[in-house]
Every structure is written in C-alpha cells, then in structure tokens.
A and B are shown apart, each in its own frame.
Chain A
Amino acid sequence: MKIFTITLAATLSLCASAAMAQQAAPAGNIENGKKHFNSDGCWQCHGTLGNGANLTGPKLANTELPFEAFLMQLRQPSNDMPPYEAKIVSDQTVADIYAYMKSLPKSPDAKSLPLLTGMGVK
C-alpha cells in the first residue's frame, strides 16, 4: 500500500508538472533537431524516422509525450536507455529534436494498407 501511495503521488506529480511544462515547451529548430537525431545516436534504437523498433526503443515520431517528460527520459532514463546529460546534449538541442519528432508526417492508417492488414494476423 505504501509503495502504491508513493507511486501514485509520483505519477500525479509527474503528470502535473508535465502538463504545466507542456504549455511552456521551448521552441525548437526542426532542421537542427533532425541533424542531431541522426548524429547523436537517437536513430539507432528508435529508427531513422522515429518509427521505433521492438525491444530497442519506442516510437517517437509525433510523440504525445509532453516536452518535460521527453527531456526527463533523456536525463534520467526510467529503463535501459542510455542517459543524455546536458553536458553533451543541451536542453535546447533536446527541444530541437522534440520539434523534429513532432514535425514528422503521421503514419498512414493501417486500414488503408491492405498489404499490411492482409497478412495472417487478424
């Protein structure tokens, strides 16, 4: 119960701060974000278009994560993700990468891809 309480409090705190921060997401330079996404190792686990990959990294394209949560995951990863400290990737660069991810075109609706949905799994 104690663990649950702490977890809940932490979650609520994160959500609250994330919601506040979402409104104040810094403006990002999409071109610079693209450059860093492709040079700083992001693509290795998340795919060259932020499409994600099983086992290595989730989808980042059109991410719905608030910027603050995005930033926090880089600074203090909650899992096995390598940390990106401000010393090597500044907050502004993270904002640029975030802007690039947000700018990527949305994926097509799977229902419009009979080649995909026509495979064995229904």
Chain B
Amino acid sequence: MGKKTSDQAGLDRRGFLTGVAVAGGAGLSGPAQAQSNPAQAQPAPAPAARPKAPLPTAAQTAAENEHPPHMEALTTEKTGSDFMVDVCKTLNIDFLASCPGSTFRALQESFINYGQNKKPEWLTCLHEEVSVGMAHGYAKVAGKPMAAMLHGTVGTQHAAMGIYNAYCDRVPMILFTASAGPVEDRRPGVEWMHSVQDGAATVRDFVKWDDYPWSLQSFAESTVRGYALACAEPPGPILITADGKLQESELSKQEEAKLRIPKLTRGTQTVGDPAALKEAAKMLVAAENPVITVDRYARSQQGVDDLVKLAELLQAPVVDKQSRMNFPSQHYLYQNARGGALVGQADCILALEPVDLFGQLNRVRDQIERTWRRTSKPNAKVISLSTHDLLMKANYQDFQRYSAADLAITADAQATMPYLIEAVEREIGDRKSMFTARGQKMRDAFKAFAARAHADGALGWDSSPISGARMFAELWNQVKNEDWAFMTPNNYSGNWQHRLWPIEKHYQYIGSSGGSGVGYEPVAALGAALAHREIGGRLPIAIIGDGNFNMAPSVMWTAAHHKIPFLAIIQNNRAYHQEVMHIQRMANRHNRGVTSGVIGTEITDPNIDYAGLAKSYGAVGIGPISDPKELGEAIRKGVAAVKAGNPVLIDVVMQPRG
C-alpha cells in the first residue's frame, strides 16, 4: 500500500550505480565508436567532467550486491503473472493440471491466490505426462480444452510423449511452459539448467503452434490466438512459453492500463465443396456395394446421429476404426465383424477422417520380406472426406503412407455431413426403396455377429487367468443400470466392448491414444473422469493394461486428492504383452529357440500388488482377482465405492489378449 512502485521510486542507489556504469562504459567505448563510423568522426572530446557523486569503493559495491538497500521494493501487489491469469480467465478454462516447477512459480501463485484458484482450478499431478494426459482425456469428453503447465526444459521433456499422443489424436490442449528469463537475472545453477532459448523446440514437431511472447501484450494475443488455433479443426496442442521475467516483474497501473486482452473468436470449420459433395453423392448412390469407413470422425452426438442418417439412407455398412465413438455398436449397419471382407468387396468406399487410408485399403505382412497388397478392389472408387492434409509435419511420420483417393474432399467431415446427406437425398430422389434388399442383408449379417460373439465369449469362460469376455460380462452385470462410459480403447481388450455392449452415446467411448505412446490409458482416464464428474451422474470406467498403468500409477493419488471418482480395472496380464509377441516373432524368425521371449517383457517375479499401490495413493484397491467366480462381487464393491465418490482400482489377472 505505502510502497513505491518502480515508476514512483525514482533513481534509487542501485539504479544510480547502473547509470554510472553505463555512462562509464560509453565514455570508454567512445573512440572505438567514432572509428567505426568515419562519417561521424569528430576530434577527440575533452575529458568528461568528473561526476559529482563519488564512485563507490569495491567494498561498497560488494556490500551493495549482497545486501539490497533498505529502500528497495521487496514486495509488490501486481505482477505480470497476474495479468497472465487475467488472460486465461477470459478463455473460460476450467482446469489447469501441473506438476510443480520453479520456472512458473509466479504464475502458480497468481492462479491460486490472485485468480482464487477458480476457472481454472489448479490440479496437482505427480508427473508432467499425467498433466498432459489429463488434458487429453478431458477434452475428448468435455468437448473443450483444459490447460497444463510444464516446468521449463525438464517438465517439457517429461511431457513430450503425452503431447505427441494428443497431437496424433488431434486433441486440443493449452500448454504453458516457462523459462527463467534474462541471463543477468538468473541465479547460478539450477535456474540455468531450467532456462532455454526456445522452450518449444523439444516438442515443436508435434504441437500445432507455439510462441515465446516477450511482452505481456504479446502474451495476451498469443494465448488467445493459441486457444483459437488449438480448437480449429483439425485440433491439436499449442504451447506458450511464459517468460520468468515477465511473470515476476511488477506491473504498474500505468503499464496495465495499456494492455488489452483480445476477444476470442472461434472460426467456423471447413465444409466440403458443394460440387465435390454432389459428385460423391452420385458415386455412393450408384454403387452396388458401398462401404463407409470411419475413424477420427465424430466429436459429438450430432456427428454420430448424422452418420446413422447417411448410412441408413444408403443402407451402407459402416466399418469403424474406432478412433472416436462414431456409430452405435448395436445398429445393424455396424459391420466391423466383417470389415475386411466388406472393404475387399466394395465398389465405392467413403472414408471419413481416416487416420490411415493406405492401411484401410492395403495390407503389409509382418514377415522378413515386407510384401504388401491392395485388399480393396483395384477399381473401387475411394472418396475421402477429411482434414488429414490440413495438419501435417515432416519429421514424425504419423501421417502414414500416401494413398490417393479418387475424390479427395479436404474438409471437416462432421461439419460437412449434413451437406453430404442433403446431396445424397437429392441424388436418391424418390428411389428410397432401392436399397431395401441391401439393408436386409446387413440385418441378417448383424444377427450372425451377435451369435458369433456369444460363442467366442463362451470360450475359456471359467478360465484362470480370466477371459476378456467373462470380465466384460461380469462388469456389465454390475453397471447395466448405470450411465456408464468407457474412457480407454479396446484394442488390447479383445474388442469386447464393441462386440458385446451397446455403445450408443458419443461419450460412452472416447477412442484411442493417437500416438500409441504407452501410458495413455491411466492419464487420459483421469482427465476423462474429471470431465464426467463435472457433467455428473455418470460411472466412468477405464480398462487399463498393467504395462500402461505402470507408466503413471500416481493418477490414483491425483484422483483421490481432487476427488475424481472412476473405476479402473487393471487388465493384468503381467507383461508388456505386445512386446512379448514381438520378441517371440523375432525368436521364431531367427530360429534360436522360442522359449525366452518373455525376458525383458514380463512383469513378474515379483508380481506387483496393484491394489496395494492404489491404497497407498489413497484410492480404493481390490484384488488381485484370479478366480472368475470372485469377480462379480469385487466389481460390485468397486462400483459402490465409485458411486460413493472414490477412485477405485480392481486388479484382475487376465488372459494375455482379452
């Protein structure tokens, strides 16, 4: 209150000394400057008049450096970091996840005190990969980004894999990192280790945009710009480096009055060209065996409903690659069970937001000789409707092998879908019954899938380790009357979710990791569970592989600390089983014995006590459960504990691949 701001303080003693030093330096360099600029050469000036104030002695200078004068302002009421918080508050960000780091100490204090720890609320994570993974899962359920704060250099390095997953998965998030500021301000040692000229360089290959603003005004503009860019289709992470000096410097009222926070404007999404949509409609309606393949398509229930409408119009089967919840698993046109055959027989394929169009149309064998062949008909017409080409970088190869469509419509598929439906309706006209027979075939095939799923599910019904089908059946029995939602992919779970459960709502399945970076499952589940908690009334479920869980077991602490309830079932096959199979493949290929493939891939001897681990973090832990007859009761207890507000882990010893 009574303290002077820097503007008011005038020339204190430190400022005076600096001025003297600069003046002295200028005097010494004067002749050299004159020589370097002959046009301004002047006769040597007369010696400068001696300053009236005496220069300090060496002892005085030392004392000055070690003991700031009593007049120096040691506290302040407003800093640059407060303004940074003001900027973030305009963006309606609900949560910010972070593992502590001194490079953003001013920002953290501003968020929790100046910002009153609301919008965003600061969430404590125990690893930066958890912070970023939370933001990943949260955005997929909430439909908007949250923020994560990463310590300068080392924190960004920790976070890198999680950011890569989000980038590959095209998920928006607002990331901040920090640096200690100008060299003369850094304390020796650690502050230098955590300072960086280019804080985003570590992750620039897999963020959508980044900036290192050098003024508060620039911070405001870059953060608002970044938010808009992160959300524009195709979305992705953006990274802002908050300079330490900017954070910690005092912000005077005069300076603050000059600052402006720009308005956030979200751009409309790209929609397909009408002429191209008309052409696509003609091709689809004319086809005898059209197939719709869909991957990273639906971002809301509207996208699901629109795709149902298109598929029913054409009575065309849908083959879902499951990067999102795109289509109801109970719908008779959901034909994943014979997806390969359908693509192979198709004369027209509509690919909606394909992550890997080449992989949908071709197959590469994993033998010594990597042969590949096209599995779709050579003359099949392929239409792609995708934002794939709008976000692509050179270094990391997530863009997959090049595959040209016959008609490539570069646009956001969900935003375009209503217009494609209109075009198809116009093309069909009054011939709506022309696809009735095709629809009946699909219904018949779908009935057979269910029978097959039940027959397959019966295999190893009473086995120990427990089969995937048994686990999902026991789970269904306990949650069938709840508003459940899966938060983890099913590619390691035998695909039982989609084979046996009615996944109908968009939030009931949020797809895969994007970059296949191990550790996604627990961290994304934590963020998704947070979003479900905010919506309310849901039972979030995560099926987490033991290898995946070991990358970030501390999610259970963050969940307990912040009261984020969810049910985590550890699909415990006591191995990095994907790698078990890879090493086995190499052992077979090299003919040097086939019994040692588990070395370096199994997680046994000792077995890990996951339930005990969960308890140590403050969560509810149950298991290990090896007997399928005990599983139902274990899940019942777990569900009850989740409904009481707890994070719960059930360790289920399971078959290697569900």
Contact = CB atoms under 8 A, between A and B. Distances in A.
A121 to B, nearest CB: 5
Interface string A98-122: 0000000001111101011111111
Q: Which of A51, A83, A84 has the most CB of B within 10 A?
A: A51
A53 B458 contact: no
B31 to A, nearest CB: 78
B655 A116 contact: no
Contact of A121 (B330, B462, B477, B494): B330
Interface residues of A, number: 41
Contacts of A5: none
Interface in B482-521: 491, 494-496, 499-502
Interface in B313-348: 329-330
Interface in A51-104: 51-57, 59, 61, 79-80, 82-85, 87-89
B594 A88 contact: yes
A119 B577 contact: no
B588 A83 contact: yes
B593 interface: yes
Q: Which of A56, A57, A80, A121 has the most CB of B within 10 A?
A: A121
Contacts of A47: 459-460, 463, 467, 655-657
Interface in A22-45: 39-41, 43-45
Contact of A51 (B459, B496, B501, B593): B459
Contact of B656 (A48, A87, A117): A48
Interface string B443-480: 00000011101111111111101011110111011001
A40 B365 contact: no
Given A41-B584, A41-B594, A110-B454, A121 B657 contact: no
Contacts, number: 144
Contacts of B456: 52, 59
Given A61-B459, A116-B469, A119-B476, A43 B594 contact: no
A13 B499 CA distance: 36
Contacts of B585: 82
A55 B456 CA distance: 13
A113 B461 contact: yes
Contacts of A51: 459-460, 463, 467, 655
Contacts of B500: 116, 119-121
Given A120-B330, A121-B502, A48 B591 contact: no
Interface of A: 39-41, 43-45, 47-49, 51-57, 59, 61, 79-80, 82-85, 87-89, 107-111, 113, 115-122
15 contacts: A41-B588, A45-B581, A47-B463, A47-B657, A49-B460, A52-B456, A54-B495, A54-B496, A55-B494, A55-B495, A88-B593, A107-B461, A120-B501, A121-B449, A121-B499
Given A113-B457, A119-B472, 13 more contacts: A39-B595, A43-B656, A47-B467, A47-B656, A54-B495, A54-B499, A55-B495, A113-B461, A116-B454, A116-B470, A116-B500, A118-B473, A119-B473
The 6 nearest A-B residue pairs measured at CB: A120-B502, A51-B460, A53-B657, A82-B588, A110-B454, A51-B459
